[in-house]
Structure 1
Amino acid sequence: MASEQMPPVVTLHEEYGCGAREIGERVAASLGVEYVGRAMKSETIDEIAGDADEGGFVERFLRSFTPIPSHDANIAWALEAHADHEVADQNNRYLADLAQDGAVIHGRAGAHVLADRPATLHVKLIAPLSTRITRAATEAGITPERARHRQAREDRVRTDFCRRLYRWDPRENDRFDLVVNTASFTPEQAADLIVTTYRLHFPV
C-alpha cells in the first residue's frame, strides 16, 4: 500500500509542560484519527515513585508490571532483561495496532518504534523551562513548586524509560521530522503547523 493511502500517524514527544495533549487532540481531530495519550501520566509517576529518587523510578515502574521474584543476582538479571523485552514488545504491538487505523500518539517511544512506518510524522515539542513550569501548573491545577518538581523527575524518567527499553535517547533530534517551540505558538497554531507539515510531507 502506498504511503499516501495509509491512515495518518503523528507521534508526539514532549518536554514536560509543552501542552502536547491539547495540541495532539487538535491534530487528531483535523486528521480524523484517534488521539492516544501517553502511557505514564504524571499522577501515575507520583504514585509509583513515592520517595524514590529519579534513578530508581524506571525500575519500580517496570517491576509494577513485571515483578522480579528472585533474590539470586544472576537469575534476577536474566529475568529483568526478559521483563524489559516483554514490556517493549507489548508496547511495539500496541503501537502497530494503533497505526493500522491511524492515530496521534503521545509518548510511548513512538518516534523510535514507528520510525520506519510510511505516512508517519514524528514531532518533538519543546519550550523554555519557565514557560513549561507555568503551563503545567495551570493545566494540572498545582503550584509552580510542584510542577517544577514534576518537571525535574518526569523529563529524567521518561528519557530513562526510552533508553532502557530501546537504547534510544529522545533528547537527540535525529528521529524527529519537526521540532516545535510551543512558547512561540498558541495550541491552535502549533496544531495547524503540524497538520500542514503532515499534509505537505504526505500529500494525498
Structure 2
Amino acid sequence: MQVVTLSATYGTGGSVIGPAVAERLGVPFLDRAIPGAVAQDLGVTLEEALAHDDRAERGLARLLLGMTRLPSVTWGGVEAHLPPSAPLTPEEFTQRTEQVIRETARTTGGVFLGRAGAVVLADHPGALHVRLDGPLRRRVLQTAAFSGVDEREARRVVCANDRARAAYVRQFYRADPADPGLYHLVLDSTVVPVPTCVELIVTASLSLG
C-alpha cells in the first residue's frame, strides 16, 4: 500500500495534485475526510472539527480558544446531540487526527494532504513525504486566477493560510513545515506543470514502496 504525505503552501495546487496522485496509485485521498472522521469519533459537529483543522482558513484562531464537546446518543435510531459538556481541547483533536492518519496509512494507504503528515508518519515504512511550494508572488497570481478575486485579496488569503498552517505544525510538533529535511521531494508546483508533479510523485512513491 502506497503512502504519500503532501505539505502544500496555499496556491500550489495541493488539492489538485493530491487526488491525481491518489488515483494513479489506487489509494484514497485524505483531506476533508479526516475532520469528518475525527468529528464522528469525538462526538462533535463537523463545524467544530473544521474549526480545529489546519486546512480551514480560520481554524487556527478558534483552535487555540478550545471548543465544546457535544456528546451524542441514539434515540429511536436517530442520533441526537446532548447539551455541551466537557471542553474539547486542541490537543485532544490533534491526537485523534494523528490516530486517524496512522490507522488509515496502516490499513489502506493513502495520500494525506496537510496536518503535519510528514511528521506524524515520519517512521511509517515506505512513506513518501512531499512539499509543494513556490514564490509568494506566483502563488498569489495562481490563487487570483483560480478564485477570481483581485490580487490584493488573493495575497491576504494566501498569507493568512500560510500563517495558520505553519503555526499548526509549530504549535503541536515544534517543527517548521518549510524545513526541507522533513521531505524526500520538494517541488515548485507554480512552475512545474501539474501532470509533471503528479508523475514525479507517483514514480518516487513506487520506488520507495
| 2:101 matches 1:95 | yes
Shift of 1:187: 0.7
Task: Give the structure with the higher percent helix.
Answer: 1
CA contact (8 A) 2:66 2:89 kept: no
- 1:28 aligned counterpart, secondary structure: helix
Quote the Cα distance in structure 1 between the aligned partners of 2:68 and 2:172: 14
Alignment RMSD? 2.3
Shift of 1:85: 2.6
| 2:6 matches 1:12 | yes
Quote the Cα distance in structure 1 between the aligned partners of 2:121 and 2:98: 8
| 2:131 matches 1:124 | yes
Aligned residue for 1:25? 19
- Partner amino acid for 1:33? V
1:162-173 pair list within 5 angstroms? 162-173=169-180
CA contact (8 A) 1:27 1:195 kept: yes
TM-score (norm 2): 0.75
1:127-179 deviations in Å (ceiling 9; x for gaps) = 12121111112223322221100111111111111111121221211111100
1:163-200 deviations in Å (ceiling 9; x for gaps) = 11121221211111100111331111100011011122
| 2:194 matches 1:187 | yes
Quote the Cα distance in structure 2 between the aligned partners of 1:136 and 1:157: 17
Q: Which runs of 4+ in 1 moved over 3 A?
A: 38-42, 62-67
Aligned residue for 1:34? 28
Aligned residue for 1:63? 65
- Partner amino acid for 2:122? A
CA contact (8 A) 1:12 1:123 kept: yes
1:106-185 pair list within 5 angstroms? 106-185=113-192
- Partner amino acid for 1:190? C
Quote the Cα distance in structure 2 between the aligned partners of 1:59 and 1:148: 19
- 2:187 aligned counterpart, secondary structure: strand
- Partner amino acid for 2:103? D
Task: Give the structure with the higher percent strand.
Answer: 2
1:96-145 deviations in Å (ceiling 9; x for gaps) = 12212011111011000010001210000011212111111222332222
Ranges in structure 2 where 5+ consecutive residues have no aligned partner: 36-52, 70-85
Mark the CA change 1:175 to 1:41 in structure 2 (over 3 Å): closer, same or farther.
Answer: closer
- Partner amino acid for 2:63? F
Mark the CA change 1:147 to 1:64 in structure 2 (over 3 Å): closer, same or farther.
Answer: farther
CA contact (8 A) 1:88 1:166 kept: no
- 2:118 aligned counterpart, secondary structure: helix
TM-score (norm 1): 0.76
- Partner amino acid for 1:26? A
Percent identical pairs in the alignment equals 33
